[in-house]
């Protein structure tokens, strides 16, 4: 019964999602002539999550793709792995490290188009090397400095849990040089400095994407400070892409770019100063119109132009919508702003007119995107040059803020909507006359410790601040208890990791083609011995992909063995790639893949066996003991941490896509482990319509409504599903019970209604825990659930916020337990104060929902507006769809 792979296996929704994730929805509009990605320190070619081939550089003696040189006289470079196992993304699992110069040379025979150079760094400690000593310079063809005394450790954005640094440059190779040399030079001031690199990409780009076409008389770059329009970016300049942002919505990952593998960041919260402004999207119903030739179709992905920010209709305060970017002073920057009017209410010129300030200087006095572009759905960009100066009296390069502000016109001006619009921002640093792009390192910022969920700021001002009354004494106690818990848990976690690592190293080597540190190889004989030749009595689960057996390897260690049905259509290569990916995802709260076997037609995966089975079995529908409230919170917290790791531990944001209580497993110590992530690729590849509609039914109750309606698959879809699990745990019932009446059959709808009506929330709570859950705790928990279940993914809390909130809820429970003890002596003289939480109330979110859908009608998630295209792609029949329904009762 206790199996790490749930009984229905990974449902096929994950296949669909994976396909959507891996393959861009639209054909690439640009195909680079030259496209090479190097996985430094790796011996073979690997395929990353987004299906790019990364060529290993460890064995390039005979390669005509690249060559590697280092002076013979100096200490040679070597290949190494990060000490920590936490980053599992290609190309970050290995690095090339050296205390001496080394050079990568790429023979490039295309000299008419510029190229992107992308340098991928994973700043962490490598064998014998401290991260703080990674200080080096990078030069191109001995003539252009990309980085100087680059202190890698200082470039991480701790606020985002980001682990990698990717630097992107644009250079134009001279016609007489058909070699691109990239040289890494450790700082020679002290002998401990070293240089390292994890991955290099060289990808060609269209000639005049960013460089100026000197023959095109219509193209201008306007200099912000002088007002002239004759600035040009000539071929001898190199550019560093410092920021590239999709304004208004989520990140657009490299595989969804137009073919150049550019990454488009999201703008909030890092760059948008306050989330006052409204995020709107066209709902993906529209396509851009390129017929007017305003920009080539590869300029930016459609989604960048079809999402934007504006003021919002009920803003009565006049503020500037402001983005702020930290840049090096003493350089000139090219700022490219992307605009596209997709709003159906903007039907003519003068409907929406506004001003733009760049670096607090008026860059445009009257912006009328409709007029500029000549209509709706026509994309355009405007380019500006701005030179950043250091603060007064300073002659050094320093980090300064480059701001972009949109300001609506004053009242009583002849514009129909006093509103602003921006769809995308790109900022490039332009090399100076010394052929230098290197600036200074940012200041050291210690990593933030997320303790409380960050306030769910609402675009619509109507946020209700909830003051939770906690006595000061109580709070102190909670802090102390929390501290102890934190330290203890940390220690436990550390030791777990260590033992895991140790046991890893001692695992015996198999005949696999994968490095043995990743994963153990089992022979079919071993597997047969473990399962008594696949004896039926060992079956603990049956699913579309085959059976799951419980087995004992080496006669002692219990494992779950998943045997894929022969003919699972999976090529051996894909199978291996998948295993490699999964075996690198290691976290105490994820079920580990311990090994695999592929002999003959057999493809078998071996997982840790989870003694206690699924979380679901301890909530309802079984005779198992019931869990206390505190136990439930601990399990949820563990699962949340596992998901948070999936979302952020890897660069590409792995989305689980099938979060539910049967996919949260428990080991003998009640440690929660998330299972069934990412494996979907091992399933059959030929997907048909029937598969997809079964899928939709199969995961009913957990699926993010936004995911159907707008086909937006983000990490927030997992947050939604996790919100459903949170409810399931609170109420100890399945998300959907068909036999119940309409009001209560859907847990989510029932809850949302109850929350509005406030009083009867307690009635929903599992009677078994009702007495141990205080009103305060219930309130807090409910707000967290509401935020997770928000219709708009952007408004949902992130998984890291959920982790913080669950930690806090657990602290509440513990301090309540303690205070109950001391209550007899000190009768409630507690002070009723201390604002602790700020959550969007359902009321507020409802308002937000309504008004954003009415906001010129462009952003909507009503079922009726699902486009034909979306329906085709999801292949939802009318009936299947009505079964899913809109979880929001309206």
Ligand X SMILES: *[C@@H]1O[C@H](CO)[C@@H](O)[C@H](O)[C@H]1NC(C)=O
Provide the minimum distance between the beta carbon of 44 and ligand X in the complex, in angstroms, as a whole number.
6
Q: Does 432 bind ligand X (CB under 6 A)?
A: no
Euclidean distance between CA atoms 875 and 695, whole angstroms: 11
**Which residue among 159, 213, 348, 360 contacts ligand X (CB under 6 A)?**
360
Q: Does 851 bind ligand X (CB under 6 A)?
A: no
Both tokens of 879, joined, read 């009936």
Contact 780, 808 (CB under 8 A): yes
**Which residue among 31, 51, 69, 365 contacts ligand X (CB under 6 A)?**
69
Contact 370, 381 (CB under 8 A): no
Smaller CB distance to ligand X: residue 276 or 609?
A: 276
Provide the minimum distance between the beta carbon of 355 and ligand X in the complex, in angstroms, as a whole number.
8
Stretch that binds ligand X, among 305-313, 318-326, 703-711, 732-740 (CB under 6 A): 318-326
Say whether 676 is catalytic: no
Both tokens of 141, joined, read 């063809």
Q: Does 153 bind ligand X (CB under 6 A)?
A: yes
Stretch that binds ligand X, among 5-13, 146-154, 197-205, 264-272 (CB under 6 A): 146-154
Helix %, strand %, coil % of the chain (to 5):
30, 25, 50
Euclidean distance between CA atoms 653 and 800, whole angstroms: 13
Strand pairing class (102-107; 593-597): unpaired
**Which residue among 68, 208, 357, 517 contacts ligand X (CB under 6 A)?**
357
**Which residue among 310, 407, 717, 811 contacts ligand X (CB under 6 A)?**
407
Smaller CB distance to ligand X: residue 29 or 223?
A: 29
**Which residue among 105, 516, 662, 867 contacts ligand X (CB under 6 A)?**
105
Find where tokens 């597997």 sit.
527
**Which residue among 22, 79, 154, 481 contacts ligand X (CB under 6 A)?**
154
**Which residue among 2, 55, 171, 810 contacts ligand X (CB under 6 A)?**
55
Peptide bond into 352 cis (omega under 30): no
Stretch that binds ligand X, among 175-183, 484-492, 695-703, 796-804 (CB under 6 A): 175-183
Find where tokens 């005979």 sit.
62
**Which residue among 23, 31, 74, 831 contacts ligand X (CB under 6 A)?**
74
Provide the minimum distance between the beta carbon of 269 and ligand X in the complex, in angstroms, as a whole number.
19
Q: Does 27 bind ligand X (CB under 6 A)?
A: yes
Smaller CB distance to ligand X: residue 407 or 699?
A: 407
Provide the minimum distance between the beta carbon of 484 and ligand X in the complex, in angstroms, as a whole number.
29
**Which residue among 29, 251, 631, 652 contacts ligand X (CB under 6 A)?**
29
Both tokens of 181, joined, read 């040399």
Euclidean distance between CA atoms 698 and 8, whole angstroms: 9
Smaller CB distance to ligand X: residue 347 or 401?
A: 401
**Which residue among 319, 517, 534, 670 contacts ligand X (CB under 6 A)?**
319
Q: Does 99 bind ligand X (CB under 6 A)?
A: yes
Closest to 570 (Cα-Cα) out of 536, 617, 595, 605:
605
Q: What angle do CA 639, 649, 783 make, to 5 degrees?
A: 45
- DSSP annotation of 436 reads B
Q: Does 668 bind ligand X (CB under 6 A)?
A: no
Q: Could you tell me the end-to-end alpha-carbon distance of the chain, in angstroms, rounded to an integer?
A: 40
Helix ranges (DSSP H) in 206-252: none
φ/ψ of residue 153, rounded to 5? -65, -20
Three-class SS of residue 167? strand
Chain-centre distance of CA 652, in angstroms?
Answer: 6
Q: With left for phi above 0 and alpha for psi between -120 and 50, is residue 227 left, alpha or beta? A: left
> Of 113-142, which residues contact ligand X (CB under 6 A)?
132, 135, 139, 141-142
Site string for ligand X, 278-317 (x = CB under 6 A): -------------------x--------------------
Q: Which of 267, 658, 667, 792 is catalytic?
A: 658
Provide the minimum distance between the beta carbon of 380 and ligand X in the complex, in angstroms, as a whole number.
16
Both tokens of 105, joined, read 């040379």
Smaller CB distance to ligand X: residue 25 or 487?
A: 25
Find where tokens 């709260």 sit.
589
Q: Does 821 bind ligand X (CB under 6 A)?
A: no
Stretch that binds ligand X, among 150-158, 382-390, 419-427, 454-462 (CB under 6 A): 150-158
Q: Does 401 bind ligand X (CB under 6 A)?
A: no
Strand partners, 666: 613, 672
* 315-346 per-residue burial string, b: 16 or more CB within 10 A, e: under 16: beeeebbbbebebbbbbbbbbbbbbbbbbeeb
Q: Does 78 bind ligand X (CB under 6 A)?
A: no
Q: Does 181 bind ligand X (CB under 6 A)?
A: yes
**Other Cβ atoms closer than 10 A to 620:** 15
Find where tokens 């091992």 sit.
682
Stretch that binds ligand X, among 67-75, 454-462, 843-851, 879-887 (CB under 6 A): 67-75
Closest to 6 (Cα-Cα) out of 642, 675, 537, 552:
675
**Which residue among 61, 62, 72, 109 contacts ligand X (CB under 6 A)?**
109
φ/ψ of residue 869, rounded to 5? -65, -45
Strand partners, 338: 381, 424
Q: Does 75 bind ligand X (CB under 6 A)?
A: yes
**Which residue among 101, 263, 332, 782 contacts ligand X (CB under 6 A)?**
101
> Of 207-236, which residues contact ligand X (CB under 6 A)?
none
Smaller CB distance to ligand X: residue 382 or 660?
A: 382
Provide the minimum distance between the beta carbon of 39 and ligand X in the complex, in angstroms, as a whole number.
10
Stretch that binds ligand X, among 100-108, 457-465, 496-504, 810-818 (CB under 6 A): 100-108
Euclidean distance between CA atoms 508 and 510, whole angstroms: 6
**Other Cβ atoms closer than 10 A to 373:** 19
**Catalytic amino acids?**
658
Would you tell me which residues interact with ligand X (CB under 6 A)?
A: 27, 29, 45, 53, 55, 69, 71, 74-75, 99-101, 103, 105, 109-110, 132, 135, 139, 141-143, 151, 153-154, 177, 179, 181, 185, 297, 318-320, 357, 360, 405, 407, 444
């Amino acid at each position: 019964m206790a199996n790490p792979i749930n009984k229905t296996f990974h449902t096929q929704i994950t296949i669909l999602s994976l396909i959507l994730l891996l393959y861009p929805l639209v054909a690439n509009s640009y195909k680079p002539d030259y496209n090479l990605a190097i996985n430094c320190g790796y011996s073979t070619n690997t395929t990353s999550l987004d299906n790019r081939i990364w060529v290993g550089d460890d064995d390039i003696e005979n390669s005509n793709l690249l060559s590697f040189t280092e002076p013979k006289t100096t200490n040679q470079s070597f290949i190494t792995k990060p000490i920590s196992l936490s980053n599992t993304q290609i190309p970050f699992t290995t690095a090339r490290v050296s205390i001496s110069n080394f050079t990568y040379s790429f023979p490039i025979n295309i000299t008419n188009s510029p190229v992107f150079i992308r340098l991928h760094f994973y700043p962490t400690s490598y064998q014998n090397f401290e991260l703080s000593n990674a200080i080096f310079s990078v030069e191109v063809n001995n003539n252009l400095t990309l980085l100087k005394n680059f202190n890698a450790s200082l470039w991480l954005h701790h606020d985002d849990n980001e682990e990698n640094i990717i630097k992107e440059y644009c250079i134009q190779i001279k016609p007489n040089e058909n070699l691109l040399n990239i040289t890494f030079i450790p700082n020679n001031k002290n002998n401990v400095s070293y240089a390292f690199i994890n991955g290099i990409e060289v990808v060609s780009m269209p000639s005049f994407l960013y460089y100026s076409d000197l023959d095109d008389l219509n193209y201008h770059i306007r200099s912000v400070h002088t007002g002239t329009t004759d600035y040009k970016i000539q071929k001898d300049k190199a550019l560093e892409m410092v920021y590239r942002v999709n304004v208004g919505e989520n990140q657009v990952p490299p595989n969804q770019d137009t073919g150049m593998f550019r990454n488009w960041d999201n703008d909030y919260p890092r760059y948008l100063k306050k989330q006052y402004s409204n995020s709107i999207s066209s709902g993906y119903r529209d396509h851009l119109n390129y017929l007017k030739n305003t920009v080539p179709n590869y300029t930016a992905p459609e989604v960048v132009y079809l999402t934007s920010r504006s003021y919002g209709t009920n803003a009565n305060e006049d503020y500037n919508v402001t983005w702020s970017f930290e840049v090096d002073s003493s350089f000139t920057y090219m700022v490219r702003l992307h605009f596209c009017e997709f709003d159906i209410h903007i039907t003519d010129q003068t409907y929406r007119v506004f001003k733009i300030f760049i670096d607090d200087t008026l860059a445009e006095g009257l912006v009328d995107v409709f007029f500029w572009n000549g209509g709706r759905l026509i994309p355009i960009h405007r380019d500006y040059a701005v030179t950043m100066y250091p603060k007064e009296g300073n002659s050094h390069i320093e980090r300064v803020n480059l701001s972009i502000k949109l300001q609506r016109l004053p009242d009583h001006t002849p514009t129909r909507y006093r509103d602003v619009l921006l769809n995308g921002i790109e900022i490039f640093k332009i090399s100076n006359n010394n052929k230098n792009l290197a600036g200074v390192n940012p200041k050291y910022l210690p990593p933030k410790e997320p303790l409380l969920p960050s306030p769910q700021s609402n675009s619509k001002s109507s946020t209700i601040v909830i003051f939770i009354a906690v006595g000061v004494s109580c709070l102190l106690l909670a802090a102390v208890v929390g501290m102890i818990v934190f330290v203890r848990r940390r220690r436990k976690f550390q030791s777990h990791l260590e033992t895991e690592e140790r046991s890893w190293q001692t695992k015996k080597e198999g005949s696999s083609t994968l490095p043995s540190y990743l994963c153990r190889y089992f022979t079919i004989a071993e597997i047969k011995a473990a399962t008594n030749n696949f004896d039926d009595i060992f079956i603990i689960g049956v699913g579309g992909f085959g059976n799951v057996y419980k087995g004992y390897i080496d006669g002692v260690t219990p494992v779950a063995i998943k045997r894929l049905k022969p003919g699972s259509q999976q090529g051996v290569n894909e199978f291996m790639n998948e295993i490699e990916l999964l075996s690198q995802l290691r976290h105490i709260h994820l079920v580990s893949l311990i090994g695999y076997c592929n002999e003959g037609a057999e493809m078998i995966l071996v997982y840790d066996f989870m003694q206690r089975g699924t979380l679901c079995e301890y909530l309802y529908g079984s005779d198992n003991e019931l869990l206390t409230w505190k136990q439930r919170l601990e399990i949820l917290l563990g699962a949340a941490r596992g998901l948070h790791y999936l979302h952020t531990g890897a660069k590409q944001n792995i989305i689980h896509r099938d979060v539910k209580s049967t996919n949260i497993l428990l080991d003998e110590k009640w440690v929660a482990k998330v299972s069934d992530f990412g494996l979907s690729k091992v399933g059959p590849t030929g997907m048909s319509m029937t598969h997809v509609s079964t899928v939709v039914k199969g995961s009913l109750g957990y699926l993010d409504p936004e995911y159907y309606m707008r086909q937006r698959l983000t990490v927030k879809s997992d947050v939604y599903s996790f919100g459903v699990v949170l409810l399931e745990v609170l109420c100890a019932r399945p998300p959907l019970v068909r036999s119940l009446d309409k009001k209560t059959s859907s847990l989510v709808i029932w809850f949302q209604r109850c929350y509005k009506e406030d009083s009867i929330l307690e009635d929903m709570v599992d009677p078994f825990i009702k007495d141990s859950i205080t009103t305060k705790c219930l309130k807090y928990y409910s707000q967290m659930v509401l935020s997770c279940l928000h219709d708009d993914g952007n408004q949902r809390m992130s998984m890291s916020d959920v982790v913080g909130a669950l930690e806090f809820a657990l602290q509440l429970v513990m301090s309540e337990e303690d205070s109950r003890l001391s209550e007899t002596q000190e009768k409630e003289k507690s002070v009723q104060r201390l604002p602790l939480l700020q959550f969007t109330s359902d009321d507020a979110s409802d308002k937000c929902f309504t008004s954003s859908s009415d906001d010129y009608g462009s952003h909507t998630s009503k079922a009726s507006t699902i486009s034909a295209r979306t329906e085709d792609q999801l292949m939802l029949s009318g009936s299947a769809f009505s079964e899913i329904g809109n979880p929001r009762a309206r």
